[in-house]
């Protein structure tokens, strides 16, 4: 992620919440990830576009996604932008179910947390600044 004076550090609590979410996602512990999300979370549907809303839709989306591909996301850095959103640079590897790499690269996840829970996440490509 580019260094920018408008970015500030993320609190240790916010970082712990997001790291726990990535860890749980990568081992397919959906129920653990959902405990870190607001009940009415907005989550991007990275496969088809748009968003899913709430725990039930997020769970259904991920369970369906994992029958088609095997994604893994590793957070690299955490920063907060001028609007208070948390920007996480992520190494993303997506494999098919035969373990062939379909996608391998960096992306940005942009989070809004409210009351210690993930409320909204957006996927952004690093070339896009805002």
Scan for tokens 């809303």, then name that residue. 53
Number of domains in the chain: 1
Residue 95 included in any domain: yes
User: Would 130 be classed as within a structural domain?
Assistant: no
The pTM assigned to this predicted structure is 0.90
118 is a domain residue:
yes
Specify if 22 maps to a domain.
Answer: yes
- Domain that residue 90 falls in: 12-124
Show pLDDT as tens, one digit a residue, over the chain (130 residues): 554 556 788 999 999 999 999 999 999 999 999 999 999 999 999 989 999 999 999 999 999 999 999 999 999 999 999 999 999 999 999 999 999 999 999 999 999 999 999 999 999 987 654 4
Give a yes or no: residue 42 inside a domain.
yes
Within a domain: residue 52? yes
Q: What is the CATH number of the domain that holds 108?
A: 3.10.450.50
Q: Is residue 46 part of a domain?
A: yes
């Amino acid at each position: 992620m580019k260094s920018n004076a408008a970015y500030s550090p993320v609190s240790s609590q916010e970082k712990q919440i997001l790291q726990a979410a990535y860890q749980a996602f990568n081992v397919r512990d959906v129920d653990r990830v959902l405990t870190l999300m607001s009940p009415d979370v907005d989550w991007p549907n990275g496969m088809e576009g748009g968003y899913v809303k709430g725990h039930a839709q997020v769970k259904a989306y991920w369970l369906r996604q994992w029958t088609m591909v095997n994604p893994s996301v590793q957070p690299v850095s955490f920063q907060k932008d001028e609007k208070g959103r948390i920007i996480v640079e992520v190494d993303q590897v997506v494999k098919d179910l035969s373990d062939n790499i379909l996608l391998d690269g960096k992306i940005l996840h942009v989070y809004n947390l409210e009351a210690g829970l993930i409320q909204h996440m957006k996927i952004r490509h690093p070339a896009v600044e805002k």
